[in-house]
Amino acid sequence: MEIVTAAVDGVVYLEFKGRLDAESAPGASQTVQDLLKTPCSKLLIDLGGLAYISSAGIRVLLLAAQGLRRAGGQLAVCGARGEVKDIIQVSGLGSVITVVEGRDQARALLEEPRP
């Protein structure tokens, strides 16, 4: 799996490409944990390049959400399609993490004032 990282205007972007499964999840989790050690308060994860996500990949996303919440940050996830979208829906992840279609929608969520 490939992970592309960028930071633009206070938002850190992670783009996952390939398969987020038991083999690649430890590396993805480490990338997220390293980001959480920095002053990252807004994280956008783009799943548009994922062909597959396993329960180990779902765990990576849950840990990212929990870590950001503890730190007072925000997470938006976008781009899930096909089998990846189906797995997210079946897993119930969508009820815990906001998952939207595209980056523009995800960016808008991160810009909304928090209660």
Please state whether the predicted TM-score (pTM) of the whole model is above 0.85. yes
Q: Where are the domains of the chain?
A: 2-111
Torsion over CA of 84, 94, 29 and 110, rounded to 10 degrees?
110
Is the CB of residue 24 less than 8 Å from the CB of residue 59?
no
pLDDT tens, residue by residue, 5-18 = 999 999 999 999 99
The CATH code that applies to domain 2-111 is: 3.30.750.24
pLDDT tens, residue by residue, 80-100 = 999 999 999 999 998 889 899
